Structure 1
Amino acid sequence: MSDNVAFANPSRECPGSAFNGYLMLAVLAAIIVFEVLLVTNALPGGEAGKASKLLFVGQLVFSILALVFIAIGFFMIQPNQAMVLTLFGEYRGTVRRDGLHWTWPWIAKQKVSARAHNIHSEKVKINDLRGNPIEIACNVVWRVADTAQAVFDVDDYKEFVNIQIEAGLRTVGARHPYDDMSDEDETTLRGSADVVNHELREELNDRLAVAGIHVDEAGLTHLAYAPEIAGAMLRRQQADAVIAARKKVVIGAVSMVEDALEKLSSDGIVELDDERKAAMVSNLMVVLCGDRDAQPVVNAGTLYQ
C-alpha cells in the first residue's frame, strides 16, 4: 500500500475547536427572552411614528436572525463519538469531547462513531494451501482510530471494511492447509487457531490502516471442507484416526508382551525356547490387538505333537 500514489499523503486527525454549548444555550435563552419582551412591551400602537415602527421591525428581525444563527451551530457528542468539522471542504479538526458544543453555522459537521463494531463475515469459499476447496468465515471487532482518514481517505469506510475483511480472509486462508496430512508439524487452519487468528488480525490491520481503522480482535468462526469433497475428506480423517489408534494399540501390546516374557524368565516360572517364545508372542498379539474377544483353544498335547 505504501507504493500506491492515492495513499501517498494520508489525512491525519487533529483536534477541532468548538465553543461551550451550555454558554451558547444561555445566550440563546437571553435572545428568546429579549424577543418576548420586545413583542409584549415594545409593540408600537397606532399613534407611534414611522421611525418607531421601523426600529421595532429592525430589532425583531435582527433578534430572529440571531436566534436562527445560534440555533444552527449546536451539536451534541455522546461518549465514544466524534464530530469531524470542515470549512468549505477544508478539514478543520475533530471534536471528541462528549457533551453539548457550538460552532459557527458555516462549519460543516459529520458525526463518526468511535465505538467498537462487530462484523460476522459471510461464508467464503476458497482454496487452501494444497488447493482443497474449503468454506471459511470470521468475526472481526474493529473501531475508527483516525476519523480524518476514515472520512477523507476512503469513500465509504464501512463498506471498505466489509470488502477488506473478505479479502484478508481469503489471503490468510490460502496461506495454510486445512489439515496436516503429513508428519511435519506445520501450521494448519484447523489445528493452529491462535496462529491463524493472529495472522488474520495483522493482515486486516495492514489493509485497514489506510482508512484509519484498527482491528481489536479477529478470529475464525466457521471452517469446513466444501460440500463436493467433504465426504472424501471425512473418510480420510476416519482412516487416519483408525491408523493412529491401531498404532497405539500395537505399541502397547508389544510392550506388554515384552514385559510378560521378561517376567516369566526372571521368575523362573517356565523355560521357553525361541519357538515357544514365538508362539506365545503370536498368541498374545492376537489377543491384545484383535477387535473381538479371543476364543481360547485347549491343547492337550505339546507344541511339537
Structure 2
Amino acid sequence: MARVAVLAGGPSSEHEVSLLSSRCLAGWLREAGHQVRLVLIGRDERWHLGAPGADLDAAGEAAGQQAAAALEQLAAARETAFLGLHGPYGEDGTVQRLLQDAGVPFTGSGPQASAICMDKELSKLAAQRLGGRCAGHQLVGGLNPPLIRIARTVGYPCFVKPLSCGSSVGAGRVDDEAGLTPAVAAAQAADPHAKALVEEFIPGLEATCAVLRLEGQARAMPLVSIHPGEDFYDYRAKYESEQTVLTCPAALAPEVTESIQRLALAMYESLELRGAARLDVILREHDGQPVFLELNTLPGFTDHSLVPLACRAAGLPPVQVVQAILDDANPPL
C-alpha cells in the first residue's frame, strides 16, 4: 500500500475538468488498495489538504495554505502526488517543479517535458523532428495579427487556439479575415502567456493514441476515433454533448494505425515522458494521412475519457492503469 495525494483543481480554466478526473482517480487508487488523500488546489493557488480517506468536498473545506507549506506536509508524510490536474499550472511544468524542489515524488512527466508538450508550437517541432506531419501555422503574440502573412501562409478557413491550453478552451474555426482578430483575442485571453496559434484548417477525422508505461516498457494502446457531431471536438463536445461518438479500436488502415502508434511512442521516449500520455492527430480528408495536433502529458481521466477507453480495449482496467502510472512516478531528487 502506498500513501497517495491526488492533486485536483488548480487555477486554470480546466479546474472543473480536473475535479472530474481526480474523483475517478481517487476511487480507482482506493480500489487498488492505496491510502488516498485528496488535495484541492484553489483558483487562488492555495492548497487544501483533505484528511486521508475524505472526499473532495471535505478537502475543499480544509484551511487553504501556500504551496510550500502544503508540500512540506506531503514530503513529511512520504506521500506520492498523483496529478489529476489539467492545463496551465498543473500540466505546464509549474507544479512539477514545485513538487521536484520539495522532494515529493509525483506521477506524470517532469517539468521540462511537461513545458514542451504544453506549448503547441514546441510540441509541433518535436513531432516534425521525428517525421510527423504538422499543419501550417502562425504564432501571434501581439494585439494585431499579421493578416497578410496569415492569409499567405495559413489561409482560410483556419483554426485559432491558445498556445498553451487544453480541452479546446478558447479554440475555434475562423472562415475569413473579418473573424480573425476577435478569434485571436479570445484565444490570447485564454492563454497564460497571451499567445495564440493560427493553424491551417484540416478537414478530416480526429484520432488519438494513448501511451502507457507498463513494467518499464512504453506501450501504445489501440487508437480511438472521434466523431463529435459538432464542427470540431471542442469543450462542449468533450464534456457536454451526447452526440459525440468514440470508436475504439478505430477503423483505420493497419499502416495508418501503425504510423500513429510509432510517432506516439517515438515522442514519448524522446521527450522522456512518464505515466500516461495521449497523442492527438487528424486524418486528412483527401488522403487519410495523419497530421499531428498535440501531445497531452496529463490527459483526462474520467470514466468516459479517451485514455481509459483505449486501455480497456487493450484489456487494462482503470485500476491497473492507475497502478502503472503510480509505478512510473518520478522519484524525489
Q: Report which of the two structures shows the higher radius of gyration computed on alpha carbons.
A: 1
**Structure of higher RCO (CA pairs closer than 8 Å, 6+ residues apart):** 2
TM-score of the superposition, structure 2-length normalised?
0.19
TM-score of the superposition, structure 1-length normalised?
0.20
